[in-house]
Structure 1
Amino acid sequence: MTRRIVRTALQLALLTSLLFISVWLLDSRYRVLPQTIHNHLPIHHPGLVVTDVVVRTCRFGACAVDPSWSRVDKDLYLGSAWITKAYVDVQRKREQDLTPTDRVVVDVRVGRLNPAASDPPAKDEKWESRQAGLWVKRSARRSDSDSARAVTAVDVLFGADAVDPRPGWEMKDRPLVDGGGAIGPRITIRRGTPAKVEKVVPRVRKDGKFKILQVSDLHLSTGVGVCRDPVPANGKCEADPRTLEFVGRILDTEKPDFVVLSGDQVNGETAPDSQTAILKFAELFISRKIPYATIPGNHDDEGSLTRAASTELLTTLPYSLTEAGPNTIPGVGNYYIQVLAHSGHHAALTLYFLDTHAYSPDEKKYHGYDWIKPEQIRWFKDTARALKADNAKYSHIHLDMAFIHIPLPEYRDGGKLVGERREGVTAPAYNSGFRDALVDVGVPVVSCGHDHANDYCLLSEPDTAGGKKDAAKRAEPDLAEGGEEAVKPKHTRNDKIWMCYAGGSGFGGYGGYGGYVRRVRVFELDAHEARISTWKRVEWGDTERRVDEQVIVDGGRVVG
């Protein structure tokens, strides 16, 4: 009896599977199922499919776009043509809205010759010529709207060195014939549905180590860029390829567990398409599967994207842990990341990131650069306080670090200094008190970028901290909930802090100052010993040496 029941169940399962496959095959070709059922099939592409792609050129005025089309909002000439503009326009439709006369785009090529010679179209397909050397392969088969071949998005990047590391995207190997001048526009397409990007959870390695590479001031352009003050200066120097080769070499040598990009990733004035520059540095980490996080510098939003737009793009990329942070406080990029212990769910290390903004909002009174705002400092303290109880459950000593772009005023102070101070410290003229907030919370290390030719770590102690000397330029009192001035703790875990620079890494930014060599900074956490060590790596010269290697935290306390 039992054997008969099992046999019947197997037969029913086989019959059901055959029926499902048959209906699926019929629906793929003839759409026999209602749309509500069809939309839930595994191969279905929710959203839109591309039915046509064209290049539109206009002169002496705005380029109107047909309401039934969408536009990639990038002038193919990048604003370099006096009277001419050109755009890529894309027609997209929902699958259920396709008519019998609609064709689905299944490939795009760029070139002067018809691709049919090397890639003959199948039945019901045709290569169609468009302006600027664009060729579009369109299919009349209705089933192609749900196939893996269906193009669902089109974008434009610029320059011979452009890359597109976004999952599912494929960049064409030739620039469009028109537009861009030396920075030729490149078509990139996505097939299928957008890939879901899972956030990586950083963890300490089994040996208790966790290595962070800090890369600052890449100053990447749209196109290869021009080197500024290269060392050595002989021969041709293209800024971005040399910068990216340097960082890639360090990634392969140091094999960091995490990368912090501490501002001015994009050189705004030479980046008319900031997206292109962002994807170039992101490719370094995505291709190596290394998680990374960014904060904006004063130049990142001087290109085609705002701080918010750049951050939004970065949040969608694989291995990026960048966040916009709360919208209730000033700035974009105020957030923290927890590095968990090798096993378990408690954090061994907390990394804080804060936006230092750009230029002074009161140039007459406080010349130069902006400062971290009181609201940000309150958020930082509140966040640290909220994390304290859980962090205390970690089986070893929990540590914290902070990363900013523009240095704090105390970077100007005297004291023990390891490294070089080649240029003046361009910190804000107004001291909002963030150095003291870091010490109050117990953060032993803060590291910045901005001043390219400075690469030192400064031991900031209470008797040398310049913020205590100039009461006129202190921050507003830290107010408790009832409006009373908050009582600061009598004792903190550390009453001093190491304030480090990464050093400038990019050839698109300035160098000079007596032959400054581009460099990056490494921090290594030993969670078992509550120890943080740091050193630098240089682009030229003694590239194998750990420059100025030192222990800055041991047993959870600042040393030096």
Structure 2
Amino acid sequence: MVPRPDFRASDQTVLKPPSDQTLRFKEDGTFQITVFEDLHFAEDAEKDKKTQGVMSYILDKENPDFVVINGDLVSGEWTHKADSSRFIHEVVSPLVDGGYRWGSTYGNHDSEINLNPKEDMFKAEHEYSNSLTQSRVSGDRAGITNYYLPVYPHSETNTESSAPALLLWFFDSKGGHYYKPEGEGGPSVKRPSWIDKSVVDWFTKTNAKLSKKHGKPIPSLAFYHIPAHAMLEYQQVKGIDPHLTPGVDGERVNPQGTGDWSYEGQDLDFMHALLRTEGLIAGFSGHDHLNDWCFKWDGSLVDQDLTGNGINMCYGRHTGYGGYGDLTRGGRQILLHEGNLKEDTETWIRLEDGSAQAHVTLNTTYGQDSYLALASDVGNIGAQTETSLLPFSWIWVPIMMLWRWKM
């Protein structure tokens, strides 16, 4: 287990980061984020060591300004009540060792009858001063990790009155099962696997207040573990073109509200809020271990009576050796340029073998610009050059779904 530092955060619902942890663009006007998805610690000690190795390698290779752990930090069904929190110390060990700041969202495997996300995970994260993870919306239906972090211009020192250059929004899409305290019997109770309306209302109101305070909408990114339904609609209706939306397309999208639930538009409020958020550049999700593509939700795609307005939606890359899938592990990189966030936001996948792939620019013409298709799919699925892997996914997905929801 990783030794714990001297820092101890206060025990409160909303934990604010220390003042010296203010996020800023660098002097050259850039800000880089590394996203780790689906780490799935706790399944096997050797797998956990390999996952730590992937994280450390990518951090050393990219040297980002901030790290996002975007859900499924652990496989809660493999933990025990007595030691659940210790796995968080293993999760963040590469970040602590490298001195990196991070923020987390929690995923569907981060809440189980043996694992209490608020007590075992949230508190454990805040034993480290570099954790900027917060909880700003109360209530069991809201989940835990709903908050935002501002990123300021490099030269700005008075953050009390100045406008951020960028906002990072984090959402808890929940899922899994509710924790059962020691000695409490009865069957496990499933948690809804979508972002609750109370969180959507908080997001909409808070963003409006920030826009009013600073006299303009603030450019932003959103992070949530389970993808929105628009990604499934795009995959089924448009298809993943390896030249226009390069990346691995190895399984059917499993959006918010699916799995143990019958999809009935549970994430409609959330998608509507995303579309109404002026300045939102992109949303990033994980959950589906065999996908790592991006798409632009423009006016050509209508989902649940909602017409896209040009926001981008991206998968990360399966980072952990826990969980299903045999793709080469890696992490999504996001490079932002303060001078032109809307047109110059770059993103790519850095793999543990040192290579980088699917480097695209999320500008207004993304989805129309042509890129080189992946030379191969670097895992055990097979080649992806001129065609999508989607046909394969209809065979593979039932196997994956059985693994995911049988716990």
1:283 and 2:93 correspond: yes
Taking the aligned partners of 1:343 and 1:349, their CA distance within structure 2 comes to 14
1:350 and 2:167 correspond: yes
Q: Is the 8 A contact 1:267 1:303 kept in 2?
A: no
1:50-76, CA deviations, whole angstroms, 9 ceiling, x for partnerless residues? xxxxxxxxxxxxxxxxxxxxxxxxxxx
What amino acid sits opposite 1:257 in the alignment? D
Which of 304, 316, 319 is the matching residue for 2:130?
A: 319
- Larger relative contact order (CA 8 Å, sep ≥ 6): 2
The SS at the match of 2:230 is helix
Question: What is the match of residue 502 of structure 1?
Answer: 316
Q: Is the 8 A contact 1:553 1:559 kept in 2?
A: no
Q: Alpha-carbon deviation of 1:539?
A: 2.1
Which of structures 1 and 2 has the bigger CA Rg? 1
Q: Alpha-carbon deviation of 1:558?
A: 7.0
Taking the aligned partners of 1:201 and 1:258, their CA distance within structure 2 comes to 11
Q: Alpha-carbon deviation of 1:449?
A: 0.9
Which of 453, 457, 460 is the matching residue for 2:294?
A: 457
The SS at the match of 2:363 is strand
1:453-472, CA deviations, whole angstroms, 9 ceiling, x for partnerless residues? 111102112331322279xx
The SS at the match of 1:165 is coil
Q: Percent identity, aligned pairs only?
A: 28
Q: Alpha-carbon deviation of 1:444?
A: 2.1
Taking the aligned partners of 2:366 and 2:205, their CA distance within structure 1 comes to 23
Which of 466, 477, 482 is the matching residue for 2:303?
A: 466
Taking the aligned partners of 1:449 and 1:369, their CA distance within structure 2 comes to 17
Question: What is the match of residue 377 of structure 1?
Answer: 200
1:372-428, CA deviations, whole angstroms, 9 ceiling, x for partnerless residues? 2222111111011011134447xxx94200000111111112345331220111112
What amino acid sits opposite 2:206 in the alignment? T
Q: Is the 8 A contact 2:295 2:367 kept in 1?
A: no
Taking the aligned partners of 2:22 and 2:284, their CA distance within structure 1 comes to 22
The SS at the match of 1:351 is strand
Q: Alpha-carbon deviation of 1:324?
A: 1.7
Change (3 A) 1:291 1:303: farther
What amino acid sits opposite 2:289 in the alignment? H
Which of 225, 244, 260 is the matching residue for 1:405?
A: 225
Which of 251, 257, 274 is the matching residue for 1:423?
A: 251
Q: Is the 8 A contact 2:332 2:348 kept in 1?
A: yes
Q: Is the 8 A contact 2:108 2:193 kept in 1?
A: no
What amino acid sits opposite 1:440 in the alignment? R
Q: Is the 8 A contact 1:220 1:271 kept in 2?
A: no
The SS at the match of 2:59 is helix
TM-score, normalised relative to structure 2? 0.73
Q: Alpha-carbon deviation of 1:359?
A: 5.0
Q: Is the 8 A contact 1:511 1:517 kept in 2?
A: no
Q: Is the 8 A contact 2:113 2:177 kept in 1?
A: no
Q: Is the 8 A contact 2:137 2:202 kept in 1?
A: no
The SS at the match of 1:553 is coil
Q: Is the 8 A contact 2:38 2:318 kept in 1?
A: yes
TM-score, normalised relative to structure 1? 0.54
Taking the aligned partners of 1:269 and 1:376, their CA distance within structure 2 comes to 26
Taking the aligned partners of 1:389 and 1:553, their CA distance within structure 2 comes to 26
Q: Alpha-carbon deviation of 1:331?
A: 1.5
Change (3 A) 1:266 1:539: same
| Alignment size in residue pairs | 321
The SS at the match of 2:339 is coil
Question: What is the match of residue 438 of structure 1?
Answer: 274
Taking the aligned partners of 1:507 and 1:536, their CA distance within structure 2 comes to 17
Across the aligned residues of Structure 1 and Structure 2, the Cα RMSD in angstroms comes to: 2.8
Write the mapping of 1:257-272 to structure 2, written as runs, cut at 5 A.
257-272=65-80
Taking the aligned partners of 2:297 and 2:317, their CA distance within structure 1 comes to 19
Q: Is the 8 A contact 2:289 2:317 kept in 1?
A: yes
